[in-house]
Structure 1
Amino acid sequence: MTTATVRYFAGARAAAGVSEETVGFPAGSTVADALSELSGRHGEALSRVLLASSFLLDGVAVRDRSVPLSDGTVLDVLPPFAGG
């Protein structure tokens, strides 16, 4: 079992209904596996946000979603931000 802290920001927080949660994933799970689990856990609203989001794994940008999760990792979900 791999435990990860998932932190949601802005629209992702609104869609998930929480700002942070600790989630257990099977050993060997990847970022893609985590996103699938989070979509199932929080429903369609979060699924839509995840499609457009960027991710940080322990503070490092993730572009390859096949990256494996390590126990105790932190996954940040960063939806597109509007600003000026």
Structure 2
Amino acid sequence: MQITIRYFAAARAAAGADSTVVDVTADTTLGDLETTLARDNPDLRSVLARCSYLRDSIALCDRTVALGACETIDVLPPFAGG
């Protein structure tokens, strides 16, 4: 399945893009996704380690949980004041 990854703030800067589309299976975990996204980008890898995620607008915190069927993952680095 194809998932749109939307980057915000520092994640956007590290990724060098507002968004990307990746092909994954429903059993891909959040941790697997992080590895895929940061494969050739050490700056992004560093940022992703501190990020929060939204899976189709619902918080996803456990990096060992499968993504399941979804359309969008939002990558949210820590923002000022929180």
Q: Tell me the TM-score normalized by structure 2.
A: 0.88
| Corresponding residue number in structure 2 for 1:69 | 67
- Segments of 4+ in structure 1 off by > 6 A? none
Q: Show CA shifts across 1:13-70 (max 9, x none).
A: 00000001111124521111111100104x1110010011111111111111122223
Let me know the Cα RMSD of the aligned residues: 1.8
Q: How many residues align?
A: 82
Q: Tell me the TM-score normalized by structure 1.
A: 0.86
Gaps of 5+ in 2: none
> Equivalents in 1 of 2:25, 2:37: separation in Å?
13
Gaps of 5+ in 1: none
| Corresponding residue number in structure 2 for 1:48 | 46
- Higher-helix-fraction structure: 1
Percent identical among aligned pairs is 43
